[in-house]
Chain A
Amino acid sequence: MDITSLYFLSFSVISIFIYYLLKNEYRVLFLTLLSCGFIATYSYVLLIYVIAYSFINYIIGLKIPNQRIKRILFTTGIVINLTQLLLLKYVSFTINPLFDLLKIDLDFTVISKIIIPVGVSFFTLQGIGYLVNVNLGWEKPERNFINFLLYISFFPRFLSGPIDRSNHFLPQLSLNKSFDGQKIAEGFRLVLFGLFKKVAIANQLVPIVNMAYANIEHSSEFSLWAVMLIQPLYLYFDFSGYTDIAFGFARAYGLELRPNFNRPFMSENMTEFWKRFHISLSSWFHDYIFIRTSYRYRKWGRKASNFALFLTWVLFGIWHGAGWNFMLLGFLQAIAIYYEFSTKRLRVRIFSKLPDIFRIWLGRICTYLFYSTALVFFFAPDIDSVFAFFSKLPLLSGTLPGGVRDEIFLLVMIFISVILIFEILKHDFGNIFDKIEFYWLSKKNTFRIVRWAIYCILITIIIVFNSEVQQFIYFQF
């Protein structure tokens, strides 16, 4: 079911009212059933798979505190999680080439064709995170399977995250949630802004990016430059749009998800950028890979953190997909962060002499440009396409990218500018932003009329622009 469709939205709004009409003890079951229904719209086999996956992790989690078999159980759990991820997402990159080499006539891609592994990369990290937490004693095992199944399958975030932590999500389920109109209104507002970002901005940029990558050879040099500069915006508005929708619905059900975006284009370096962009994923890798690896090899001294840094980011890249381009995407991030870390003192000495505003904006622009370049590895279908893309950049000729009408492109750029101006205000001029927010949320009738008028305009734009369904980029993971 497409989450930008009017069907899904109406269905979700109705479900929120039913949810609050139910007694507290039935609400988790209700949300779990809704989530199962949502997954079943993609595939019944996937639903059965998710239930089985949740059950295995639930049982392993329950048994882990048993000291005698703790280590074996934990290792088995991690192996099961990684194996299923490998079988569903990385067969063409790992198992099939190995079988080819050994001349074994088996094709494992058939598994992913049957199951349709939607959301698998996201829920696997949640499953692993839960087992690690229980193993380290950071949380007690969940005793209620329905609660655990909801943790894995909660429908607003099932497709593309944010990747939740069991010790953040599960405790919320036992809280008594009373109907809070203001919170639900906040949730609906987030859904509305998320839909606007996805439908009115990201979806309109899809043809430009897709056309360029589908035909790099015949795209003009100038259009490839333009695409390179546009693609961070496209990815941001697509993914943060989805996140806002997920957050909004979760909040309306009285649940809070872990943050995923925090004005990433205000970052002055890549280290900061990854604390603001896809936070739930980067913090997962930080907590469960970087910290654990650094700790494990702590005897190596500085080398341990360097090793952990590169390992973390290469795995981060591979998480995005089976291909050398994704691996290089992660490796590039590691190089940038390593460079920033090892030259920090020198850079501070040089740049502290510059006026603040110049230094800050130089950092932001450089960070944006670096990320724009790195994203070529993300969007290109394979490594050859990455080289083809970069080989055309030294020239600067040709026409602007096609795929969308000029007036629509201009309108989208206006939408982007307005949102980015608000982000700059919130980040750099907090007092002005607070004032705007104060008036925006005011209960006076004049402001309410303005607010409702803006809602009407936003809904109008969303409905009119939503004529063609475009999948969320992170849906593929």
Chain B
Amino acid sequence: MGKFALKLLLFAVIFLIFDKLFIIVAHFSAEAEADKRLEYLVNGEVNKDIIIVGSSTGSRDILASQIEDATGLSTYNLCYPGSNVVFHEFIMRTLVKYNEPPEIALLVVDDYVELLYDESIIFRRDRLYPLVKYEYIWKELSEWEDRDKMFSSFLVLNRLNKYNFDIRPKKFTPIDTIQECGSMPISWKPDDMDIDYVSGERLYPKDEELPEKVEAYKRIIETCKTNNINLVVVFPPVYQDHSISFENRIRELSGDGVYFYVYNTENPIYKIEENYFDETHLMQSAAIEFTGELIAYLDTLIENELKIEN
């Protein structure tokens, strides 16, 4: 038995040495990424006055560079298409952990699936996979992947995912091209896109809310309060009537000390199909208009309530 145990131990040692070779894969995996925003975040390189957090609506509809130019406050867009509020909470948590907290955080909510089940918005684990060389990231991933932290602490392979092995340099696709400010506006439209305007109040189904999403939303508010970040919850335009019941629910959950900006529902441009890429995303020209309106609101807020120096 002793001989067998020794052989097994020898194999384990050889495997552990072999395992360490994969540090190279972890390194190149991060290098190959086109979207570096999360890596900037973990490296403490996102020290901005205004941060935008949200899903694709935030990344398409709000132009951070436009806000920066107009307000004179450095602005960066950290919105990830297809991400949910749990992911946004992770972004906020990472932001304050490694960077100077911003003066203002714009949290762009998805009307009205923000806190509901929706398979198109998820925790974007794929954004974390390339960055497993960072302890903070693989620890976060362990929580999501039933991988044990203890094993990950000495097994590099246990931090890696099959996608890490694709170390070919990634390129932006036409729809996911990220500007320097982090925004991802859309300037082209598919020919076959045909959408219908939905009018009338959509009653918000509070009973269907997912507890983990509600908790994540509350934690974002808490994080902002703890770090003295002025949180503005932004309701962007959608190609349907704005849901008042959803807005009320968000206001109810947010409590005091949170600001709200609802897009100008009277502005006719938000009822023109040509201004939309699809039901929930604006084309770049309309996004400029919407960002302009948001800037006007922010200017008033900064001047009257926040007293932030440019």
List the interface of chain A (C-beta within 8 A of B).
2, 5-7, 13, 17, 20-21, 179, 181, 184-185, 405, 407-408, 452, 455-456, 459-460, 463-465, 467-469
Contact = CB atoms under 8 A, between A and B. Distances in A.
A6 B146 contact: no
Contact of A463 (B8, B14, B157): B157
Nearest to B146: A469
Contact of B162 (A6, A456, A459, A467): A467
Please classify the interface of chain B as helix (H, G, I), strand (E, B), loop, or mixed, using the class held by over half of its residues.
helix
B209 interface: no
Contacts of B5: 17
B180 interface: no
B4 A184 contact: yes
B267 to A, nearest CB: 36
A463 B158 contact: yes
Given A6-B158, A179-B1, A459 B15 contact: yes
Which range holds the interface residue count of chain B?
20 to 34
Contact of A455 (B4, B11, B151, B166): B11
B147 interface: yes
A65 B160 CA distance: 59
B161 interface: yes
Nearest to B152: A6
Contacts of A181: 1, 3-4, 7
B18 interface: yes
B165 interface: yes
B15 A456 contact: yes
Contacts of B151: 6-7
A222 to B, nearest CB: 20
Given A20-B1, A179-B4, A456-B18, 20 more contacts: A7-B151, A13-B8, A17-B5, A181-B3, A185-B4, A405-B163, A407-B166, A452-B14, A456-B14, A456-B15, A459-B15, A459-B157, A460-B19, A460-B157, A463-B160, A464-B157, A464-B162, A467-B147, A467-B161, A469-B146
A456 B17 CA distance: 11
A460 B22 CA distance: 10
The 3 closest A-B pairs by CB, nearest first: A181-B4, A463-B157, A179-B1
B142 to A, nearest CB: 10
A407 B165 CA distance: 11
Nearest to A21: B1
B145 interface: yes
Contacts of A7: 148, 151
A189 B160 CA distance: 24
Contacts of B18: 456, 460
Nearest to A2: B146
Nearest to B141: A467
Contacts of B155: 6, 463
Contacts of A452: 11, 14
A455 B14 CA distance: 11
5 contacts: A179-B1, A184-B4, A459-B157, A464-B157, A464-B162
Interface in B134-153: 145-148, 151
